[in-house]
Structure 1
Amino acid sequence: MAKSFLTHIQDHFGDGGYEGDQFGGAAGHDGSGLPTGAPGNFMFATGIECSYPTIAGGTIRRDLLAETDHYNRYKEDLGLVKEMGLKVLRYNLPYYLIQKAPGKYDWEFADKAMAEIRRLGITPILDLMHFGVPDWIGNFQNPELPVFFAEYCGAVARRYPWVRFYTPVNEIYVTARASAKDGIWNEQLKDDRAFITAMKHITAASIMGTQQIAKHRPDCVIVQSESAEYIHEMRAVPTPEICLINKLRFLSLDLLYAHPLDSEVLLYCLDNGMTRQELDWFMAGEPPGYQVMGNDYYGRNERIIKPDGKWCQAEDVLGWYTMTRQYYERYRKPVMHTETNTFDAKDAECWLWKQWVNVMRIRQDGIPVIGFTWYSLLDQLDWDISLAEKRLTVNACGLYDLDRKIRPVGESYKMMIREFGQITMVPYAEMFAVTSQPAILKVKV
C-alpha cells in the first residue's frame, strides 16, 4: 500500500512544529496578548470625557474635565490608561481654554498632559473641538469659526509634531443639532436655519482644521467620530419629519466626505440658507489625510416612536453592526467603533461584550474595523440629561468610578484586551502597516 503524503512529510520534516511555521503558519501567533503598539495592531482605546458646551443662555460652562477633577488628577488618570493595558487614548485639549484670542494661546495644562501621555507611550487620538468654542468666538452661528479653528489646529500640530491621529471636531451632527435645533447647548436655538448654519460652520471648521494639520503632518490619520443614530417610526404612514431626520443623520459626513446629498436633504439645506457656492465648496473633495470613519453607538441612539407620539429606547434593534454597515456602504472608509457605554453599571459588562461581538461580526464580513473604544475611562456627570442642567448626577458608565476605583466593566475590558490585544487591524495588516507617507486620494475608476 502506497504511503500517505503525510508520512512523507513526517519523514522529511517531522511531526508538526515545522521550522518557518512560526511566521504565520499553523504555529503562528493567534492574536492574544496585550497590545504592543505595532503599526498593524488593532487599536483598543478608551477616552476621557471632556465635553465643554455652555448652557443657561451662555451663563454656565460645563467642563467635564473640571467636574471629574481631571485637571488635578491627570497623571493618575493617564496612569489608569496604562494600567488597563491600552496603547490608544481619545484625548481632548480644551479648546475653549487654550485659544485665548487669534494667535494667542495658553498651553500650560496641555503641555503637561501631552508630556505625560508621551512619557507613558500612549498614542493619543487628539480631539480638538468637543461641543463648545471659546467665549470670544461666541457660538456655532459665527461664520468666522472655520478660520479661527483652523489657526488653532495648525498651532496644535506645530506644538506637538509627534502626534499623528486627530479628531478635529467630535460628533459634528450632534453638536449642530443640540446647539441649534434642540436648544440645549451654546446658542440654544430651535430653528432649521440655525441648524444648517451651525452644520456648515462646524463642518467647514473640521475641513479647514484638517488642512492645517496636514501641512505639518502630511501623514495624519483623521478619525472622524460621529454618532450612529436611527428612529424607528411605528406608524402605518411615516411622517415627513421623521423621514427627514433619518436622512439628516448623514449630513455632516456627506459634507465632510463630499458625498452627494439626498434630494430631500439638498432642498432642506438650500431652503435654510446653504448657498450653491457653499455646497460646491463642500463637494469639491474630501479633506486630506488618511480618513477613518468613527461610529459612536449607544443603545439610547436608537429610538422607537409609537403611534401616540411617545418614545421608547430601541437598544440593539439594529445595533452597531447594522447601523455601521449602512454608514460603511455609503462612504467606504475604514471604520472605528469610537464610543460606547451604558449608564447601568450592572449591564455594562454584557454591553461591552455585545459591542465586541458586533465588531467581530462586521470584521468577519470583510469590513475593515481598525479600533474599538469604551467611552469613557471615568464615570460621567449629567449625560442622562445631555448636560442640559448642572445637577452633577453621576452616570456610572466608566471603566473606573470617580474615586478612580475600577468597575467590573473595567476588569472585563482588561480581559478582552489580554485575549485580543494583538489581533491586526485587518487580516495581513502587516502588509498595510500605517505608513509615514502622505495620504494621496484615489480617483474612482
Structure 2
Amino acid sequence: MTKWFDDGALHFALGIEDTFVPQERPGERAVDEYELTEHYTQWRSDLELVRESGAEMLRWGVPWHRVNPAPGEWDWSWLDAVMARFGELGIRPIVDLLHYGTPLWLEGEFANPDYPQRVAEYSVAVAERYRDVVTDYTPVNEPMIHALFSGEYGYWPPYRTGPGGLVEISAAIARGFVLSQRGIAEVLGDAATFVHVDAGFRYTGDAEAPEHRGTALRLRRQSYLVEDLVTGRVDDAHPLRPLLSENGMTDAALSWFGEAPVRPHVMGVNYYPRHSTEVFEAGVQHGGGFADPRPTRDDGVDGLLEVLRAYAERYGAPVMLTETCVTGTVDERIAWLDASVDAVVAAKARGLPIVGYTWWPLFDMYEWTYRHSTAAREEHLLSMGLWDLVETPSRLERRRNPVADRFAHHAREARGASSERRPQQPQQAQQSQQNSTTDHPEPRG
C-alpha cells in the first residue's frame, strides 16, 4: 500500500494552534489555545474552514488535560464528535498528542517519574479509540522547545533550569516519546505513520566570536538532542555525550534509547523566517528564551531550505514543512506564502525529498506571553492566519482574508501538478464529502 508521503505529491496542510499549559500559579495564567480561540465551541465550523481552504491535511492536537481529567479516567465526549467530523469531511488529521501540556493531576509534569508511562498510556488510548479515523501521529510537537522552556529556562512547569534541567526534561520527554510511538505502532501496525516535528533552530551573526563559539556550537548540536535520542543516534561518540553524563544521564538510561529507537516516516520541521534565526552579537550575552531573548534575523527562504536539507540528511527521511508563517499584514503574509511555496516546489524538483507544506495557523492565535500577563485576551492577538479573529459581543468571529484565497490557489496548483501521478479519490471518500453537512449534537466544551 502506497502511503501519502510516497506518492510523489506535495501535500498542503494547515494547523490549528494547540498549545496547552493548563497549570497556574501566582502571576501565571493557564494557556489553552482552544479556549482562547473558542475552538472548543466553534470546532465544527473551524473544520469546515479547513475544507474550504483546499488543504488535504490538518495538524490538530488532542487536549490531554481534558480527555484524561484524572488518573485512569477518560472523557471522550468532545473528542468523539470532532474525530467523526474529520472522517465526514475527508480531511486527514495529523494528530499532535503532546503540544506542551500535561494534566493537572500529574504532579511535577515532565519531571514526574511516571510521566513516560502516563503519556504512553494516553497515546495508546487515543490510538485505540480512533484507529478507524486516525493513522498519522506526532507523538511530541517541538520536543526541544519543551526541553528549553520547561528544563533550561524555568519558564514553564516544572520550572527546571540550567544544563541539569535541560538533560532531565529532554530524557523524560524522549522516553515518553519512544513509549508512545511503540504503543501506537502496536495498535495500528503497518497503517501507522509517524510525523516527528521539531523547531528549526539557526544561529548566526558573531557566533564564531570567542565568547560565543562554544555556546553557539552547543546550541546547534542540542537543537537535535531529543530527536537524536529517540532515533538511537546518541552513542559514546556523540558530541553531547559528555553533557548528558555530567548532568545525570546514566549509561543504562542512554543504552535504553539505543536498544529501543523509533524513527519518523516523515520528519517535520517548523520554520518562522522572523524568529527561527537567532543572532549572536559580539560582546553581548543573552540567555535565550522569552526572559532574555537574542535578536533575530529574517533569512527568508535561504534559512528555510537550509533547515529542511539538514533534517532530511540527518535522519534519512522525507521532510515536511510542518509550520510556517509571518505575523504581519495580509500583504506580508501573502508575500511569504508565495516565496516559501515557490522555494519548496523548486527544491522538490531538484531532489529534496519534501512531501508537505503547512501554513500555521488556520486562523489567528494568541501569543504565549498571555500566560505572564494580566492584559485582556485581545492584547495578545497575533495576526497570522488565513482567517482573522475578530472580537464581537457574542463570539470570536473568523473572517476570511485574501491569504486564504492565495493558499487555496497554491493547493490547487499542487493537486493539478500531481494529478497524473496520483490515483482517483476513492468513492467512499467522495461520498463522505458529499454527505458532509450531516449534523451532530454539540459536545461539551
Task: Give the TM-score normalised by structure 1.
Answer: 0.83
Alpha-carbon offset, residue 361 of structure 1: 3.1
Matched positions, count = 392
Alpha-carbon offset, residue 190 of structure 1: 2.0
- Equivalent position to 1:353, from 338, 342, 352: 338
Which residue of structure 2 aligns with residue 404 of structure 1?
398
Which residue of structure 2 aligns with residue 100 of structure 1?
69
The RMSD of aligned alpha carbons is 2.4
CA pair 390-71 structure 1, distance change in 2 beyond 3 A: farther
Instruction: Write the distance in 2 (CA, Å) between the matches of 1:291 and 1:387.
Output: 34
Instruction: Write the distance in 1 (CA, Å) between the matches of 2:131 and 2:244.
Output: 38
Which residue of structure 2 aligns with residue 254 of structure 1?
228
Which residue of structure 2 aligns with residue 16 of structure 1?
none
- AA in 2 matched with 1:314: R
CA pair 387-239 structure 1, distance change in 2 beyond 3 A: farther
Instruction: Write the distance in 2 (CA, Å) between the matches of 1:249 and 1:113.
Output: 34
Alpha-carbon offset, residue 102 of structure 1: 3.3
- Equivalent position to 1:154, from 117, 124, 136: 124
Q: Quick one: percent identity of the two aligned structures?
A: 29
Alpha-carbon offset, residue 100 of structure 1: 2.3
- AA in 1 matched with 2:165: A
Map 1:407-426 onto structure 2 (within 5 A): 407-424=401-418
Is this contact kept in 1: 2:9–2:414, CA < 8 A? no
CA pair 182-358 structure 1, distance change in 2 beyond 3 A: farther
**2:185 maps to 1:223:** no
**2:343 maps to 1:370:** no
Instruction: Write the distance in 1 (CA, Å) between the matches of 2:18 and 2:116.
Output: 21
Match of 2:279, SS? strand
CA pair 42-250 structure 1, distance change in 2 beyond 3 A: same
Instruction: Write the distance in 1 (CA, Å) between the matches of 2:91 and 2:75.
Output: 23
Moved more, 301-310 or 90-99: 301-310
- Equivalent position to 1:291, from 238, 255, 265: 265
Instruction: Write the distance in 1 (CA, Å) between the matches of 2:374 and 2:388.
Output: 19
Match of 1:312, SS? coil
Which residue of structure 2 aligns with residue 327 of structure 1?
311
Structure with greater helix share of residues: 2
Is this contact kept in 2: 1:57–1:187, CA < 8 A? no
Is this contact kept in 1: 2:151–2:170, CA < 8 A? no
Ranges in structure 1 where 5+ consecutive residues have no aligned partner: 1-35, 431-445
- AA in 2 matched with 1:88: M
Is this contact kept in 1: 2:31–2:370, CA < 8 A? no
CA pair 356-278 structure 1, distance change in 2 beyond 3 A: same
- AA in 1 matched with 2:197: S
Is this contact kept in 1: 2:318–2:355, CA < 8 A? yes
CA pair 390-319 structure 1, distance change in 2 beyond 3 A: farther
Instruction: Write the distance in 2 (CA, Å) between the matches of 1:372 and 1:413.
Output: 11
Could you report, residue by residue, the CA deviation over 1:99-133 in whole angstroms, capped at 9, with x for unpaired residues?
12333111111111111111111110011111110
Which residue of structure 2 aligns with residue 184 of structure 1?
155
Instruction: Write the distance in 2 (CA, Å) between the matches of 1:353 and 1:175.
Output: 31
Which has the larger Rg?
1
Instruction: Write the distance in 1 (CA, Å) between the matches of 2:80 and 2:225.
Output: 35
**2:381 maps to 1:394:** yes
- Equivalent position to 1:145, from 105, 108, 115: 115
Instruction: Write the distance in 1 (CA, Å) between the matches of 2:381 and 2:280.
Output: 28
